[in-house]
Structure 1
Amino acid sequence: MNILGISAFYHDSAAALLQQGQIIAAAQEERFTRRKHDPSFPLQAIKYCLHEAALQLKDIEAIAFYDKPFLKFERLLETYYAFAPMGLRSFLTAMPVWLKEKLFLKRLLRKELAKIDPIAAKKIKLLFPEHHLSHAASAFYPSGLTEAAILTVDGVGEWTTTSLALGRGQDITVLQELRFPHSLGLLYSAVTYFLGFKVNAGEYKVMGLAPYGNLQAESTQNYIRLIKRTLVQVQEDGSIWLNQKYFNYATGLTMLPDIKWQNLFGFPRRLPESELEQKHCDMALAIQTVTEEIMLKLAREVKRLTGAADLCLAGGVALNSVANGKLQNSGLFRHIFIQPAAGDAGGALGAALAAHYLYFKQERTITPGPDAMQGTYLGPAFPNWAVAEIIKKYRAVAEIVNEEDLTTRTATLLAAGNIVGWFQGRMEFGPRALGNRSILADPRNPEMQKKLNLSIKFRESFRPFAPTVLVEDAQQYFQLPGTSPYMLLVQPIKPSLRRALPKKFNKLTLTEKLYCQRSALPAITHVDFSARIQTVHAETNPLFWKLLQAFKKITGHGLLVNTSFNVRGEPIVCTPADAYTCFMRTQMDYLVMGNYIFTKGQQPPWPEKTDWQKQYGLD
């Protein structure tokens, strides 16, 4: 049985393919079109999935779309009716698109699929599981758990914004739901908008900005009080009620009424790209604190309802790795599995899995070992001959080496302070680069965070970088209970690695805080002594594991800085051409792609030790 899952027409469109319940391929459309968060029909992603499985469209038993369009249309109509006469402009903007395309989604899907195979497109079965069921299925079925509580939290699907469910065997039973317009995801997105970041793209920036706030400051505590007193009422079971007088998302063209928020919090909405001030940091910390409180209450409630020992998480809010770390530390659950593509892209996979188990009633077999996401390496891979074609096309300077020399020489370059683009194997599915489409560096280098942000990624200087560490060495560096293969858990670094902060740290500016030496691993230590950790496992990524082993042999440390192989505003690279173009446009020192090591011109392959290495005794 071959089932194709699709998510599209909102943001982060994607496709995923199952064969006999096994995940064969999955990818976001943005990686092929090079349009970040591309919402369009995932034509290229579908073509890739079919190619990976050596199938044609006629071989697919069913296509599952990740939500129900008629339910979503019902929600739009009822919402406009409830808020009338407000929202007329938004109504007039939205309705033509719905009446022309989205309402008749079956027709639209068949029209797009006809670009692949016109005959098969007319015959193929189309299924429409609900949005939050797709999220729940994406987390539970690949988790490897026979029974688990399931918590899904996002902006909104059709009506649901939060669901609490029980997964048992091949069944998922939804126990409670929170409905639109009351949404934790939309509350967080509203603050994201108020702080000058892009909705559905900048929420992780708010999470990264929060540690620069001061929780003890009166301003932060006041923001928390105002959020909980005026914007949202939080109940003990985690359910919330949002005061719609302070939000426009239900029927407006913006997230919130600027003047009301300015009057409430005492400062205007920050304009994009303008300077970040302490009040913005404190506001980010306030919404992060409220979010963590709500997530913990929801987790306690789903635990009470199910009695399950384990938890599965999905939905866009499940990408909040700081809140995930707090859930892990709560001890409520024995094990937490978070879908690595927790947002809408993962809905494509969840829709296919829901169709397989709930519609077609296929038996679920769980085998011992890691989860079924295969390290989330589910995208396209490229052979060495494809890399050789890039060398020929661009007259690139590159040297081919065997695998053992590849990891040793790359580790040597990293230990010498170089920044290396690392392009290997199958592309990751989801928002995180996990060692196949990554930019790597030495975490011991105190200058590395600044250099990576400003000269490589071209992004805000406050943004933290994640460590990737050998799973067997993780406890040496981090207070991490268990593993974190998908870079979705934030935990503190060990106290023994920390350095004392200045006595007046909280009075420093954001920039001054950023460049304080916080630990022996400054490039991956955030201002609150935390890190978003990826544990690397030999079973799922043997070559990346070997690279870390080689770096450990040279430096004594089995960990690296790992950030996604892209620059600001662009998707993670997909093809060798994408990688080479990104390499040449930035100040990356080397590119390792397949068995080739690329340089820029005639650089010496073994650079001398830099001043910072001598200063810190690393030579």
Structure 2
Amino acid sequence: MYILGISAYYHDSSAALIKDEEIIAAAQEERFTRIKQDAKFPKNAIKYCLQEAEITLDEVDYITFYDKPFLKFERLLETYLSEAPRGIKSFMMSMPIWLKDKLYLKETLSRELKDIFEELNPKLSEKELKAFKKRLQCKFMFGEHHQSHAASAFYPSPFEDSAILTIDGVGEWATTSLAYGKNNKIEFLKEINFPHSLGLLYSAITYYIGFKVNSGEYKVMGLAPYGEPKYAQLMKKHIIDIKEDGSFKLDMSYFNYTTGLTMTSEKFHKLFNAPPREKESILTQKEMDLAASVQAITEEVMLKLARHAKEVTGSNNLCLAGGVALNCVSNGELLRANIFKDIWIQPAAGDAGGSLGSVYSVYYQELNNIRNINPNEMDKMKGAFLGPKFSKAKIEKYLDSVNANYKHIDKEEELIDIVSDELKNTKVVGWHYDRMEFGPRSLGHRSIIADARSKKMQSTINIKIKYRESFRPFAPSVLREKVSKWYELDVDSPYMLLVAPVKKEKCYEMTDEQNKLLGIEKLNISRSEIPAVTHIDYSARIQTVHKETNPRYHKLISKFEEKTGCATIANTSFNVRGEPIVCTPEDSYRGFMRTEMDVLVIDDFVLYKEKQPKYEDKRNWQDEFELD
């Protein structure tokens, strides 16, 4: 049985395909169109999924969508009516989109899928195409937003039963939900509804600090260690009322997101004595303290929610999904609180993962198929390597088309030896290998990698390669079997979703003079033997690398350890500011040539910057993705 899942029309659209219980493919549309967080119908992602499975669209048994548009429309109408006449401008902007596409989603999906079918089968008659469109009508199923999130967290997990927390901005009505999963069923127990939302509170602070909503939240989390939670009590006094069970209520007079075009209100600005920070202006200590404060609030709510989930469900396991589940600092606090024996987090926890959750929800919950758990598997996600890979012939054809200077290495051992030497010599390496990752993290298949021991590597990569703020941290990729020698962690963290302290014996004590420094002044102080991945609070966002799911990357780090004694390297996503993570060999070469990266490795091809010809980027980045 094949089930195709679709997430679209809000942000970060995606497609996912399963064959019975097995995930065949999953990818975000942005990777193909090169439009960050592309919300359009995931035409290219769907075509990729079908190609990977070697099936036609007509062979798909069910097509699922990750939420219910009528419920979402109901929420919008009720919100606008309750706030009228406020929000008329926002109402007038949103209604045409809804009335054209979103409300009549079944017809919209039918039209889009018919176009794909026609494109892939150009010789079909109009009669045959109409018959296909009619067949589609029997295949559609729609799941609720938080149902899709919860399913994406529980069903691929290694647990027979689990408490499930879904925390995000908003779905149809729910913003936070508690469910219990057992075998092939999920039961929803409690929820918090819009407009009260932890995700939207975090986004409101993101907006106020001057970062972009739905993408700048990572920056807020990265900025938080540079500040103190000075505003946390002020927020709890005026903005958010947190109960002991983790439920909460926002004072909506401080916000404008229900009907307005901004996140925060004038009352919010008066509370913090200033309007929102201008984008790209200098970050001050105030922004750092605000980031620290909303992070502290988030951690408090998540810990209380988790304790209540344990009390209600009695399970020893916890699964997490929703955008807030990507807050790896909070996840680390949850782990250290020892509320649950085990925690599993969906690597595509945001809306992109909804496509995957929707297919699993249909397969298990609606069709009542038996859920099998393989004790030899870490989970069902295949390391999250669910995207496209490219043949040697295709890579070579592209490199030749731009007259690239490259060397093809036949033996993997030789390749690993060359690249580990480059890392040891503090070269920055673009590492493109095999299938692309699903979700927002680069996990060693579309990564920029470097020597974690380098004191200047963090600022070098941020400024000269990523073209982004210097404070943005990198993650350590560490051998799973060596993680406890370097970090205060002894569990799997394959998806870079847990933060833990660096081992004390690897850390350096600060001098009295250094301890007096404030904010970004703290950035250039080496805090450990691996300064490129050590945050200023001595923590790190850890990716454990497993030889079973990530064999070549594991071999590379092992060889690097053999040469240096260090079992960890620095890893950041292979992209530049404002662009999605790379997908194709062309994307990787372009990123390589646009930056001050030293070496590029695409599967078995090695390229050195100084040997490349002058590069002129001629691609129209709105072009469709070309499949093999």
TM bin, normalised by shorter chain, reads over 0.9
CA contact (8 A) 1:209 1:284 kept: yes
Separation of aligned partners in 1, 2:360 and 2:523: 43
Q: Secondary structure at the match of 2:390?
A: coil
Separation of aligned partners in 2, 1:466 and 1:329: 19
Residue 502 of structure 1 deviates from its aligned partner by 3.4
**What CA deviation, in whole Å up to 9, does each residue of 1:295-314 have, x standing for no partner?**
00110111111000000000
- Return the match for 2:507 from 493, 498, 502: 498
Residue 261 of structure 1 deviates from its aligned partner by 2.1
State the match for 1:527 in structure 2. Answer: 536
State the match for 1:325 in structure 2. Answer: 332
**What CA deviation, in whole Å up to 9, does each residue of 1:340-386 have, x standing for no partner?**
00000000000011011111211111111210000000000112112
Separation of aligned partners in 2, 1:129 and 1:570: 30
Separation of aligned partners in 1, 2:477 and 2:438: 17
Separation of aligned partners in 1, 2:417 and 2:333: 37
Work out whether 1:473 is the aligned partner of 2:487: no
State the match for 1:611 in structure 2. Answer: none
Q: Which amino acid aligns with 1:592?
A: V
Residues 602 and 96 (structure 1), Cα distance of their counterparts in 2 relative to 1, 3 Å cut = closer
Separation of aligned partners in 1, 2:518 and 2:595: 28
State the match for 1:428 in structure 2. Answer: 437
Residue 100 of structure 1 deviates from its aligned partner by 1.6
Work out whether 1:361 is the aligned partner of 2:368: yes
Work out whether 1:241 is the aligned partner of 2:249: yes
State the match for 1:265 in structure 2. Answer: 272
Separation of aligned partners in 1, 2:445 and 2:47: 21
Q: Secondary structure at the match of 2:570?
A: strand
Q: Which amino acid aligns with 2:109?
A: L
Q: Give the stretch that moved more between structures: 28-37 or 376-385.
A: 376-385
Separation of aligned partners in 1, 2:70 and 2:516: 53
State the match for 2:148 in structure 1. Answer: 134
Separation of aligned partners in 1, 2:329 and 2:555: 29
Q: Which amino acid aligns with 2:342?
A: H
Separation of aligned partners in 1, 2:257 and 2:512: 43
Q: Which amino acid aligns with 1:123?
A: R
Q: Secondary structure at the match of 1:407?
A: helix
CA contact (8 A) 1:397 1:601 kept: no
State the match for 2:621 in structure 1. Answer: none
Residue 168 of structure 1 deviates from its aligned partner by 0.3
- Return the match for 1:151 from 148, 151, 165: 165
Separation of aligned partners in 2, 1:502 and 1:70: 60
Alignment root-mean-square deviation, CA: 1.1
Q: Give the stretch that moved more between structures: 383-392 or 112-121.
A: 112-121
**What CA deviation, in whole Å up to 9, does each residue of 1:128-162 have, x standing for no partner?**
11000000000100002110000000000000001
CA contact (8 A) 2:483 2:490 kept: no
CA contact (8 A) 1:214 1:506 kept: no
Q: Secondary structure at the match of 1:166?
A: strand
Residue 506 of structure 1 deviates from its aligned partner by 5.7
- Return the match for 2:399 from 388, 391, 399: 391
Stretches of 4+ aligned residues off by more than 6 angstroms: none
- Return the match for 1:542 from 551, 557, 560: 551
State the match for 1:52 in structure 2. Answer: 52
State the match for 2:182 in structure 1. Answer: 168
Work out whether 1:404 is the aligned partner of 2:413: yes
- Return the match for 1:229 from 226, 229, 237: 237
Separation of aligned partners in 2, 1:74 and 1:511: 45
What pairs up with 1:336-347 in 2 under 5 angstroms?
Answer: 336-347=343-354
Q: Secondary structure at the match of 2:38?
A: coil
TM-score, with length taken from structure 2: 0.94
**What CA deviation, in whole Å up to 9, does each residue of 1:10-45 have, x standing for no partner?**
000000001012111000000000000000000000
Separation of aligned partners in 2, 1:504 and 1:186: 39
State the match for 1:193 in structure 2. Answer: 207
Please list every run of 5 or more consecutive structure 1 residues that lacks an aligned counterpart in the other structure: 604-619
Work out whether 1:559 is the aligned partner of 2:549: no
Q: Which amino acid aligns with 2:530?
A: L
Q: Secondary structure at the match of 1:114?
A: helix
Q: Secondary structure at the match of 2:103?
A: helix
- Return the match for 2:313 from 288, 306, 324: 306
Q: Give the stretch that moved more between structures: 38-47 or 393-402.
A: 393-402
**What CA deviation, in whole Å up to 9, does each residue of 1:172-225 have, x standing for no partner?**
00000110000100011000000000110010100000000134xxxx1xx111
Q: Which amino acid aligns with 1:368?
A: P
State the match for 1:95 in structure 2. Answer: 95
CA contact (8 A) 2:227 2:519 kept: no
State the match for 1:417 in structure 2. Answer: 426
Separation of aligned partners in 1, 2:517 and 2:374: 53
Q: Secondary structure at the match of 2:238?
A: helix
State the match for 2:578 in structure 1. Answer: 569
State the match for 2:384 in structure 1. Answer: 376
**What CA deviation, in whole Å up to 9, does each residue of 1:88-115 have, x standing for no partner?**
1111111121112111000111111111
Q: Secondary structure at the match of 1:6?
A: strand
Residue 390 of structure 1 deviates from its aligned partner by 2.0
Q: Secondary structure at the match of 1:149?
A: strand
Aligned length: 596
Q: Give the stretch that moved more between structures: 387-396 or 569-578.
A: 387-396
What pairs up with 1:73-92 in 2 under 5 angstroms?
Answer: 73-92=73-92
Separation of aligned partners in 1, 2:15 and 2:511: 49
State the match for 1:65 in structure 2. Answer: 65
Identity value in percent: 55
Q: Which amino acid aligns with 1:188?
A: Y
Separation of aligned partners in 1, 2:501 and 2:568: 15
Q: Secondary structure at the match of 1:287?
A: helix
Separation of aligned partners in 2, 1:5 and 1:340: 17
Residue 120 of structure 1 deviates from its aligned partner by 3.0
TM-score, with length taken from structure 1: 0.95
Q: Give the stretch that moved more between structures: 591-600 or 119-128.
A: 119-128
- Return the match for 1:510 from 497, 515, 519: 519
Separation of aligned partners in 1, 2:473 and 2:515: 18
CA contact (8 A) 1:208 1:463 kept: yes
Q: Secondary structure at the match of 1:175?
A: strand
**What CA deviation, in whole Å up to 9, does each residue of 1:280-327 have, x standing for no partner?**
101100000010000001101111110000000000000000000000
CA contact (8 A) 2:255 2:268 kept: no
State the match for 1:612 in structure 2. Answer: none
Separation of aligned partners in 1, 2:611 and 2:241: 62
Work out whether 1:203 is the aligned partner of 2:217: yes
What pairs up with 1:117-132 in 2 under 5 angstroms?
Answer: 117=117, 118=129, 119-124=131-136, 125-132=139-146
Please list every run of 5 or more consecutive structure 2 residues that lacks an aligned counterpart in the other structure: 118-128, 613-628
Q: Secondary structure at the match of 1:337?
A: strand
Separation of aligned partners in 1, 2:134 and 2:447: 41
Separation of aligned partners in 2, 1:87 and 1:155: 19
Separation of aligned partners in 2, 1:558 and 1:506: 29
Q: Which amino acid aligns with 2:211?
A: F
Separation of aligned partners in 1, 2:42 and 2:13: 6
Separation of aligned partners in 1, 2:134 and 2:320: 36
Residues 277 and 507 (structure 1), Cα distance of their counterparts in 2 relative to 1, 3 Å cut = farther
Q: Which amino acid aligns with 1:443?
A: A
Residue 122 of structure 1 deviates from its aligned partner by 3.1
Q: Which amino acid aligns with 1:120?
A: F
State the match for 2:112 in structure 1. Answer: 112
Residue 387 of structure 1 deviates from its aligned partner by 1.5
Separation of aligned partners in 2, 1:383 and 1:562: 25
Residue 267 of structure 1 deviates from its aligned partner by 3.0
Residue 505 of structure 1 deviates from its aligned partner by 4.3
CA contact (8 A) 1:421 1:590 kept: yes
Residue 121 of structure 1 deviates from its aligned partner by 3.6
Separation of aligned partners in 2, 1:48 and 1:39: 17
Q: Which amino acid aligns with 1:13?
A: S
